[in-house]
Structure 1
Amino acid sequence: MEPEVSTVADDEVVIHVGEEVRRYRDLEPDRAYRFDGVEARTLPRPGGELLATIATVNDLHFGEVECGHSSLDMGPILSMPPGSPPHPEVMNRAAAEEIAALGPDVLIARGDLTDGGRPEQFEAFEAVYGALFADSMYMVRGNHEGYGNPDLMAHPVQHIVVPGVDVVLMDTAVAGETRGHLDADQIGRMEDIVSEAEAPVIVMGHHPPRTDDEVVPGLDEESTVALAEAIGRHRGIVAYSCGHSHRNKVTYRPESGGVPYVQVASVKDFPGSWAEIRVFEGGLLHIHRRISSPDALAWTNRTRQLFGGLYPRYSMGRLSDRCLALGNR
């Protein structure tokens, strides 16, 4: 397998070669390097001190035992061998251990924590993440929670204050629906928080905005336009960050004044992702992390086969979709 640059930070490059992980640390920011025959440039470091770190996870899917099911019917359908823990448990335990080693100020779990919103699935989520992050974890539901238990985790807007940044966490789920929605009260509450915030603001939710080329339905058109216009009215908002699509992708809306909409791929299958956000006095860095325990890499490399082998092209995204600066506007 060819070397793949999975991560660039302001001080680090991470390359995966099959199930081997090569980490190059203590690097200079905003500098081109060549490792293992591939080139990568570290991110520019924002000015000032590092104030805080945020970790995010999404699309965990506790309770799923097979992956690859979709209306496209392209195959294959994959699962763990008999007697082995199901893949969401393998992937999420590895993710939780990596995040705990980072020691973030907060962990934000952004929906589809479960595959069907059932109590035993939520208990499995709590068993992995609750013990490690009980005092620093925030959660919002995704469409999969809405399928099984419409009232589970129904918090329309949460305001999370972290040194150097405010996070507005929005519930985009609609009971029984795949597509998401934001109502006028949620948008208004978001705008109130942003108007009063003294620090930059990141807005987060489960669903990305609707796009003409979307594969998985995101927010409905009404919500997409309302959110984009609201973001455009407030220069303090530096990003909208979400999951749901199971892909790493950055999009932009003309109404939003150049603010990136950052989608992060799922924990549960290729590439097996979580995100680190470094908060500096002068700006923020969004850094993709590929879950890298041996068991996790063995599973995610198997899931490259999904959707007729097209999945890596869809889910991994460009390096600029995964690792980028989120500056003040």
Structure 2
Amino acid sequence: MKKGILLVNLGSPDSPEPKDVKKYLGEFLMDERVIDVPLWARNLLVKGIILNTRPKASAKAYKKIWWDEGSPLIVLSERLQNKLQKQVEEPVALAMRYGSMTIKKGLQELVNKGVEEVLLFPLYPQFAMATTETITVLAEEIRQKYFPNLKIESVPAFYNKPDYIEVLSNSIKKHLQGKNYEHLLFSYHGVPERHIRKSDITKSHCNPSDKVNCKCCKIPSEAHKYCYKHQCVEVTRLVGEALNLKEGTFSTSFQSRLGFDPWLQPYTDRTIERLGKQGIKNMAIVTPAFVSDCLETLEEIAMEGEEIFHEVGGKEFTTIPCLNDDDDWVALISRWIKEWATPETVMV
């Protein structure tokens, strides 16, 4: 069977204009795995409130980070795809979960090249309802409807794979070289606490409200396979060990909360503010929930986060880029693909 790879990232509006941002936000926020409330309530919230108030503000934010080539997320994902294609024999296509670069188009591109078996690669290190799960569920729905003879295998969360941790740690080390930072903050995209409970296959293990010691994240459990919070905390721990970071000089936080329901804590903006008020003058921040820089990293963190830090007395605010199309990252994905494409090798 001819094999191919479909990389899938989050997505982006076609332009930073309000009408395109509104269209994109509508698709994104109406996903039942993003805002997981009954349809009537989601319609009321998204179409009745958010889409009448948020697109202009979001468009303004997108305009701050938009490149001449287009959306940074799209451009960086395409660079990754192009570099990867040069290192593997199998055709590599790119799709987005939301927006005009649909998963259906990506699968069709591979099928047109004679592909019969696809490695679906969600570009997220950690599992989450609103990222990995929504991609795999939609891909299967599309397969059943349009490509019933196509076989699809999904890459599982790779947050704790030693070779990934090595690449991520080396990237962080490289970008911090020569920097005199006092604290390294690992900021992850936030999700509502209820997402953690819904993903708990044991229905009894996860306690997302455990904000300080995260006891349930440290107790071995089958629930960790689908626990986004555990997987984020574990990345911080593993990278901390790899870089020999001293206790108290690094921590974990969560960004991009929406609405009034409890989200994973501590919140990134409040953490940045607290560190500045505690006298930290030089801090660095990395965003390991993303492999490609996007609105959340380039505007919310690199711009808004730095502004907060300076307002409370901070001096140097270092933003570490995502892996993007880093050569070591490309080489690692290439090796994973080659292992998958070899019949006697089983991906884990």
TM-score scaled by length of structure 1: 0.30
- In terms of fraction of residues, the more strand-rich structure is 1
- In terms of fraction of residues, the more helix-rich structure is 2
